[in-house]
Amino acid sequence: MTLVGKKAPLFTAPAVINGEEIVDKFSLEQYIGKKYVVFYFYPKDFTFVCPTEILAFQTRLADFEKRDCVVIGCSTDTENSHLAWLSTPKNKGGIQSVTYPIVADTSKTIAINYGILGGEFEYNEEGMTVFNGAPIAYRATFLIDKKGIVRHEYVNDFPLGRSVDETLRLVDALIHNEEHGEVCPANWSEGKDAMSATREGVANYLATH
């Protein structure tokens, strides 16, 4: 079930902030009413595709910030694992230099509430709890507006890296819609023509593009 159009599930969990400090109670709620939020999940620390994505978000972090948007990463690893990875140089497979928050969802409840855990808990014939699938998060990305509503989500399987540029484009599209009341057509990007959500608006756009 999609979360688009619904309130983003709030959480309070341990996280590493500024690339070096563990906080016990990092909360999504602190940004509601104040910032746009790109909240994304990745599968595991100390892996292969994950550091390329995490560092790609860091490279574009200033672009998100100038749009009044914060970036938050999350996986089911512990905060200590996050800190160790954040302290490891990039030339040794680490993500040193990342400054935005990385949340530790060790209980897996955040991933479950966002619907992106790679499997599910069940009971076997003996009544024992078992897990079917991979007990880690898919590569999921959520764009949350300043009212705390999820406006966009997409989920990739484990081997498929996401596009940070596309995420930034969607932040631009959301801001354009809120500021101008126009809708953003296929392949729209900042600076291109949008259109009014009317038959006439669509007809005018199609006639000129």
Is residue 42 within 8 A of residue 58, CB to CB? The reply is no
Question: Which are the contacts of 48, defined by CB distance < 8 A and separation ≥ 6?
Answer: none
Chain centre distance of CA 173: 16
The active-site residue out of 50, 69, 74, 184 is 50
| Single-letter amino acid code for the residue at 199 | R
Q: What is the DSSP string of 135-204?
A: EEE-EEEEEE-TTSBEEEEEEE-TT----HHHHHHHHHHHHHHHHH--B--TT--TTS--B-SSHHHHHH
Question: Is 50 an active-site residue?
Answer: yes
Which of 28, 2, 5, 36 has its CA nearest to residue 176?
A: 36
Query: Which residue numbers are catalytic?
Result: 50
